[in-house]
């Protein structure tokens, strides 16, 4: 195959460390007039245009963006494919919302044609919003995952997904059994895990909808395939926390249920964690597990405010999640807008550089993929975005007043949305153009 080499010139910004660990100034690299060089789907060089241009062959194709910022692709560590059709559903908190809206919506995924149609819409929405990697819940039906992976593979996207395991406390039309969930998950793992840039996640919905037998088999799958992911929900809503205590009275608490069934580990991601205690944060960090912070969902469903400073204190990996359809937007820019407010309500500040970290490198670390995605370091996959400073009249006017990259970044995260994403690249391929 001939070598395909391209270069992209613009302002360029990426996270290189967690500001909570190294301080803000050491956490990012910014090139006011930068150059990104891509060879065969991987980044081969990054730096100041003035320094790099001389080293490139004269005939290389250089795309020059004016009034734009290149960043790594965004990483969504918690989102539900089957809930795309019910995003923005009115009037309930978590448990009633599941019964009223979610379960009926997910039942439609028994139909292969429906699963394929929604998978196509879902991936387009991710890419329109600049999300190049997501950790995705399917429905209980294997076809939801097959349809998603087939669509993702065509575009060479780095995606992680799994079939929901759910054998109790849900409608009969939507439950599997401990045994069928094990066998169906295993078949999906054999078909998809490690194929191209695709990975599989063992996916018990949450402790209340799985019997001890099913949770045991989920843990068994993780033992059989050591590099699998595991995703579930934890401590999202106070009613849910109490329900878990009733269902598992022999366990110390919600996290201990998952711990007992050997579901904690370096590729385990727990969504929400709004009502975790100090000990649970410490245990998650100790096992290398991560939490997905889902601010639009936590506000929309009235679940509570995630305590990011407590997670930082324990050096717990935290990624960002849109949680569509509990969350109200596919946009990680809009999600960061809400994350800032969640911190404000707790008397804490969220710097724009910490926000950038959460949406990129933080998410990559939560997924143990920082060697491949989340930065623009040479040697990583060329998953990146072009953000347009003139996407809307207000954004354009506001950014003309900006005095620094910190201010520009913060304005993009408060006023920006899908319109701000001019282009999305995955593995060096243009996969979305506004």
Q: According to the model, what pLDDT value does residue 368 have? A: 98
Q: According to the model, what pLDDT value does residue 98 have? A: 82
**CATH code reported for the domain at 74-330:** 3.20.20.140
Q: According to the model, what pLDDT value does residue 3 have? A: 61
Q: According to the model, what pLDDT value does residue 380 have? A: 98
Q: According to the model, what pLDDT value does residue 1 have? A: 45
Distance CA 367, CA 373 (A): 10
Listed by start position, the domains of the chain span 5-73+376-433, 74-330
Distance CA 348, CA 22 (A): 18
Q: According to the model, what pLDDT value does residue 126 have? A: 98
Third-level CATH fold of 5-73+376-433: Urease, subunit C; domain 1 (2.30.40)
Distance CA 41, CA 39 (A): 6
Q: How would you classify the pairing of strands 384-388 and 421-426?
A: antiparallel
User: What angle separates helix 142-154 from helix 112-128, to the nearest 10 degrees?
Assistant: 50
Cis peptide before 271 (omega within 30 of 0): no
73-111 tens-digit pLDDT: 999 999 999 888 888 888 778 778 788 888 888 888 888
pTM: 0.96
Distance CA 237, CA 53 (A): 53
Instruction: For the chain of 434 residues, list the mean pLDDT of each consecutive stretch of 10.
Output: 81 98 97 97 96 91 96 98 86 80 86 92 97 96 96 98 96 94 98 97 97 98 96 96 96 97 98 97 98 96 95 97 94 98 97 98 98 98 98 97 97 97 97 96
């Amino acid at each position: 195959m001939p070598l395909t080499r391209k270069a992209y010139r613009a302002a360029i910004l990426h996270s290189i460390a967690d500001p909570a660990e190294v301080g803000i100034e050491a956490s990012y690299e910014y090139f006011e007039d930068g150059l990104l060089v891509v060879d065969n789907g991987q980044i081969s060089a990054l730096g100041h245009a003035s320094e790099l241009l001389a080293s490139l062959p004269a005939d290389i194709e250089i795309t020059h963006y004016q009034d734009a910022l290149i960043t790594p692709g965004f990483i969504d560590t918690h989102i539900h494919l089957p809930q795309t059709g019910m995003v923005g559903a009115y009037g309930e908190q978590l448990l009633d919302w599941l019964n009223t809206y979610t379960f009926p919506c997910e039942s439609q995924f028994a139909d292969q044609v429906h699963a394929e149609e929604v998978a196509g819409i879902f991936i387009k929405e991710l890419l329109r919003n600049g999300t190049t990697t997501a950790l995705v819940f399917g429905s209980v039906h294997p076809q939801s995952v097959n349809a998603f992976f087939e669509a993702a593979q065509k575009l060479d996207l780095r995606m992680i997904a799994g079939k929901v395991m759910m054998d109790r406390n849900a409608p009969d039309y939507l439950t599997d059994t401990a045994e069928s969930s094990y066998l169906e998950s295993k078949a999906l793992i054999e078909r998809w895990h490690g194929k191209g840039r695709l990975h599989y996640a063992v996916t018990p919905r949450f402790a209340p909808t799985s019997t001890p037998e099913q949770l045991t088999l989920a843990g068994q799958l993780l033992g059989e395939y050591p590099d699998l992911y595991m995703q579930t929900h934890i401590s999202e809503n106070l009613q849910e926390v109490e329900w878990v205590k009733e269902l598992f009275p022999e366990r110390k608490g919600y996290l201990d249920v998952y711990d007992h069934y050997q579901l904690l580990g370096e590729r385990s991601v727990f969504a929400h964690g709004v009502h975790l205690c100090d000990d649970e944060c410490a245990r998650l960090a100790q096992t290398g597990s991560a939490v997905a912070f889902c601010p639009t969902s936590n506000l929309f469903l009235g679940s509570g405010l995630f305590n990011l400073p407590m997670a930082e204190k324990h050096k717990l990996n935290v990624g960002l999640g849109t949680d569509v359809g509990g969350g109200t937007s596919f946009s990680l820019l809009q999600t960061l807008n809400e994350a800032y407010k969640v911190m404000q309500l707790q008397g804490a500040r969220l710097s724009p550089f910490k926000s950038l970290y959460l949406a990129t490198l933080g998410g990559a670390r939560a997924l143990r993929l920082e060697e491949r995605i989340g930065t623009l370091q040479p040697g990583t996959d060329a998953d990146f975005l072009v953000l347009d400073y003139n996407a809307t009249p207000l954004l354009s006017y506001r950014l003309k007043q900006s005095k620094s990259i910190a201010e520009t970044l913060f304005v993009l995260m408060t006023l920006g949305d899908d319109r701000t994403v001019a282009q999305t690249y995955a593995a060096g391929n243009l996969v979305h153009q506004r």
